[in-house]
Amino acid sequence: MWTDKLKINPLGVLLGSTNPALVYLVERDILDQDPGVIETLWELPEPLRILKKQRMDGSWLYPGNRPGDEYGENYELLETWKILRVLVEMYGLNRKHPAIQRAAEFIFSCQTGEGDIRGILSNQYMPYYVGAIMEVLIKAGYAQDERIIKGLEWLLSMRQQDGGWIIPLQMYKMQECYRVFNLAPIQPEKECPFSHMASGMVIRAFAAHENYRKSAPAIQAGKLLKSRFFQKDCYTSRQSVDYWFKFQFPFWWTNLLTVMDSLMRMEFPVEDADISKGVDWFIQHQESSGAWQASYGKSQHYDSDLWITYAICRVLKYFLK
């Protein structure tokens, strides 16, 4: 039993949750039980509360300050992706639900002729967000949609020479970014080293897609990512080593958990030395309660630590088998 290799069995604290969505997913994904049809989660109070705020065009209104409006930043695209993560990852909504269909069509309306989703960085390329957005749409049932395929192929065309990705704007100092936002998209200098922060978000799309997860480019990117465990990024955005250990569910930024989750989906070998380092870190940093701590997403609507624990258990179940 994989839990025997941990200091404390985490299943007790997970199954003791009062959140029926979390318990459902633990039973399905960790215990390999049949908890019933996923549609039962769609009628829970929290997804219903979220769905009530969806706008007619399929988007959700961004609630915060909007300093980039004058530069053409699409705050509703960002907010819609944020919401979609919750609905798909925590409550299992998929393209059978009309709200997901509307949200997907809104996101696809932001796809350019080149294949990328654009707007969060105004007119500039954002391969890291494209990967994260494509990941959620793939999980929602759009894997074979031609617009997804076009987006994945665009991501492949944007690789650095080493096989990873960067955010082209990272080649500029932060104070210069707004000056170039509305200009033609900046092309990446392909000889620059990859950013593991950017690449970790991109690879999630490939890891989620059954036809791409074992492709040579995806495997190469996975090898690059695990080689960077516990190291600083090459670029200033989220550069510190500490970001490897800042966990959030549903996933947003790259960290040890998101990369290990991708490598699991890509079926990297459990004997891999880099992966063993990641597994050992999780074992050593388990709390006395049996859970692991979240770094973001503290909310009255769900227990962030338990959601992180669920995500970590999915990974450990695979790599400790």
CATH number for the domain spanning 127: value is 1.50.10.20
- What confidence tens digit (pLDDT) does each residue in 82-128 have? 999 999 999 999 999 999 999 999 999 999 999 999 999 999 999 99
Q: What is the pLDDT of residue 182?
A: 77
- What confidence tens digit (pLDDT) does each residue in 21-68 have? 999 999 999 999 999 999 999 999 999 999 999 999 999 999 999 988
Q: What is the pLDDT of residue 61?
A: 98
Low-confidence residues of the chain: pLDDT under 50: none
Q: What is the DSSP letter of 214?
A: T
CB within 8 Å of 252: residues ≥ 6 apart: 85, 132, 296
Residue type, 284: Q
Note whether residue 22 is domain-resident: no
Q: What is the pLDDT of residue 223?
A: 98
Q: What is the DSSP letter of 138?
A: I
Note whether residue 16 is domain-resident: no
Domain span at residue 235 reads 37-268
Q: What is the pLDDT of residue 320?
A: 96
Note whether residue 162 is domain-resident: yes
| pTM over 0.85, yes/no | yes
d(CA 23, CA 303): 12
d(CA 320, CA 2): 5
Q: How many domains does the chain have?
A: 1
